[in-house]
Every structure is written in C-alpha cells, then in structure tokens.
Amino acid sequence: MQQSQGFFRNFINKIAKETSEKKEEIDRELPFVVMLFALMATSGVSLYDSWKRLRKMNLLPRFQQEAEEVIRQVEVLGKDPLSAMYDITEQTGSKAYRDFLGGFISSIKSGGKISDYMQSKLRVIFELRNKEMTRSTEKIATVVESYSVMLILILCIYILYSLLSSSSSIEDVTGVYLESSPFLTFILSFLVVPMISFIFLLVANNMHKSTMLNLQTIYKKTLICLAVVCALLVAFVFVPALSELANSVGFSLVLTICLTVGVLPGAIQYYMVSRVNYNAESSLPSFLRDITESQKTGISPEKSIIHATKRRDYGHFSQFLVLIRSQIEWGVSLKEIFGNLKQKISSWPVLVNFMMMVETIEVGGGSVRSLELLSEYSEKELESQINKRALLKPYVILAFVWSVLIALTTSIVTVTMYILNDFASSNGYQIVSAAMSEETGILSMGIIFQCWISGLFMGKISEGNLAAGLKYSAILAVTAYVSLILSQDLLSGLFGVI
C-alpha cells in the first residue's frame, strides 16, 4: 500500500514538473508566435493556415507540437479550427496562451477584424513580456545575493574551523578543540562547498535561459580538456617525479594552471561565437528597418534585401549579409538562404526574426505593413535584451570581490593562527605548524576551485549559459591564486612568519 502511494506521489510530481516546464516554454515562445500570427493576418493569411506554417518551424518547438495537435484535430478528428483551439484553451496551463486563443475565438464569433485583434494582442503580450523580464531580473538578483550570503557563511566556517582546529590557546580559553584533519578539510573544500554551488547553478538555470543555440561543440571541447586536466592532476599526485615538481612550485599553482587551461579553449571559442551573434542581434533590427523602408518605394523584396545588405556599419554581421546578397543574386530562394544562415548563426532571436521575415515575404499580401510590424517589435525585443544584460552585468563584479575577500581573510586567519601557536606552545610549534601548513594548502586549493565554479555561476547569471562562464572561471581562478599568494607573502613578511 505504501509503495503504491509512493509511486502515485512520484507520478503526480513528475506530471506537475512537466506541466510547469511546458508552461514556461509556451510563455517564452508565445510573443514570437503571436507576432507570426499578426504578420500572417496582416498579409491576409488565415489563422489555420498560420498553424500549418508553424508546424514546420523547429525554432519554436513547443508551438510546433501545439500546431501538430491543432492540425490533427482538424484533419484527423474532423473538428473545425475554432473547436480545436477551444479544446487547447481548456487544456493549457498558460494563462497568456489561454487568453490569446479565447480572445481570438471571441473576435471571430463577433465578426471582428482579425489583424487588428492580433496587433493589439501582440502589443499587450510584449508589454507583459517586458514586465516579466524585469521581474525575472529581480529574481536573479535575489539568487546572486543569496549566493553571496552563502559564500560569506562558508568564509565564516573556514575561519571557525581554522580557529578550533589549530590553536591550543583557543582550547585553553573555550575548552573546545577540533582535531586537525586534512581529510575533513578536503571534504569541506572540494565536496560540500561545490555541491552547494551546483545547487545554486541549477536554480539559476531554471530562471535564466540563454538566447544562444548549438553550444554543444563548445561544451564537448571543454569536457575533453577538463578530462585531460583531471588525468594530469591525478598524475601530479601519484607519480613521484611529478609530485616532487608540484611540491616545489606549489599544488595551488598547479591546480590554477590546470583549471585555467581546461576552460581556455572553450572560452576562446565562445568569445568568437558570442561576438558574432551579439553583433547580429544588435544589427538585425536596423537591417529589417532598411528592408522595410526600401519596400515602401515599391521595389521587390529581394532587391530590398540586396539594398539593405550594402550598408557597411553592421560589424561582424556584414560577412553574413554579403553571403545573403550573393545567394540572392545567384537565384537562391529565401528558404534555402535561411537554412544556410541557421548553420552559421546561433542566436535564437536573430533566427526567429529572420524566419518571420522570410515567411512574411513568401506569403506576399500586405508585406510592407507586416515588415513594419516586424521591424518595430524586433527593435523592442533588442531594447529589452540590452536592458536585461545591462542590469545583470554589475553582478559579475561581485565574483571578483568574493575571490579577493575569501583569499585575503583566509590568509589573515592562517597567519594569526601561526602567531598564536608560536606564543602558546613553542615546543609543539613545529608539529602544529606542519599540520596547519598542510591544511592551509588544501584550503587554498579549495578556495581556487570554489572561485572557478563561481565563474560558471556568473556566466549563467549574466548570459544564461555555462559557456559564457568559462572566461570568468579562468579569470577568477587566477585572481584567487594571485590574491592568496600576495596576501600570504605580505602578511608573512610583515609578521616574520615562514
């Protein structure tokens, strides 16, 4: 009986989780789907034909499934399109999606103008999207602040552990003594703390989605490099010759070099990809605006695109526009050109807007008004994305503050413990200092590793993907190591402690 109840509970939780994820995906894609419907309605295309077109668009995977369901109910079950859409309103968990379909059905039954309804609904949905982006930014800020509190708590634990495990004078005063244990220090530094950081990473992953697609190549390259680095670190520990070399230069330096080298190839590749794609995101609204203005003069859409591609201030995006112009001049269809662009561009907003432009031009009709609508809302989307990134960028500075603060505070506590033990027990000083030196080395490596993980977290927070955090991981690991070395050397020289 208990087993069946447990199975039923897990089944319900799984369904609830899938429903929540489906709702989030629908809300994310809905503004662009409504834009597509508005463009099609402005061009004189019915909503049912728009559903048919949507069925072929794999850039909107959730609504591609919704379109498949609508077409199935109409063509297989024999329902009329309005009944099929009404059934979807009864099943969906997204309030915005339900309101959109419900309003459309009501507008059709009352004899309203569909294009006007679509445009008004598009304006409302984008306003709600902007407000939701502002709220999500505030939630992300809360997560970053919580992560900061967690790091401060970890720092306090480091200090308390150092006090209780290394100073006999503290034992005399408080009567509390924690036996020094390098193994316990290793568990705390390399298992407990990173596990907490990964929990925050999962929370951030559910709150901030990346606009970049097809980053699997970067992740694979990074995983291969990190696997090689891990094998090298194991060799430095167990191979006697390499172990002596690591002892001479310091295991902290070896760990820093390995962690930095492990993410450097992926960070370089992501920098090149993001530079091109972010430039494409910022340039596409201007490109669409140029096409729209050219269309108003009465020239063909293809000639409008050729005219727009001749503008020279698009930066790295210009290389793709040159290819587009060449393909149009050679008679390649816009569908094929879009397929080629998908292999070179990873930005989801760029691909979605370009796809809508191609669909709008292909259906004809009121293409000038449709392109005007597309240009207007692509500019609004760009503005929203820029504002969100600008609000999140300052939090990256916090990561560098964490790295320096943890390294400096740990060094101060370490030197203080050495001095206290020197005064308290001169006979056992050599034994205590040797144990403390070993623990300090492990703590230093743990701090470097934690700062490296913090880089991944900041990449997820600032740009929505782990690949963006590779550069921060490398920089923070080096920052932590330099801070540790400088602070330890300065304090050791100041107090005369070796």
Mean pLDDT, 10 residues at a time, the chain of 498 residues: 42 41 77 84 81 86 87 85 83 82 82 78 81 81 83 74 56 50 74 84 80 88 91 85 81 89 92 89 86 81 84 81 87 86 87 86 71 82 80 80 80 68 51 58 83 88 87 90 81 59
Contacts of 478 (CB under 8 A, 6+ apart): 256, 260
Break the chain into its structural domains and give their ranges. 2-112
CA nearest neighbour of 291 among 279, 282, 300, 281: 300
CA distances from 315 to 137, 141, 271, 306 (A): 29, 32, 15, 17
- Strands in 37-161 per DSSP E: none
Query: CB burial class (10 A; 0-12, 13-18, 19+) of residue 101?
Result: buried
The 8-class DSSP code of residue 192 comes to I
Q: Which residue has the tokens 């507008």?
A: 107
pLDDT of residue 4: 44
pLDDT of residue 299: 81
- CB-CB contact of 374 with 35 (8 Å): yes
Q: Which residue pairs, CB below 8 angstroms and at least 24 apart, start in 246-254?
A: 250/441, 251/441, 251/445, 252/441, 252/444, 252/445, 252/448, 252/481, 252/484, 252/485, 253/481
Burial 156-184 (b: 16+ CB within 10 A, else e): eebbebbbbbbbbebeeeeeeeeebeeee
pLDDT of residue 270: 93
The pTM of this model reads: 0.81
pLDDT of residue 190: 81
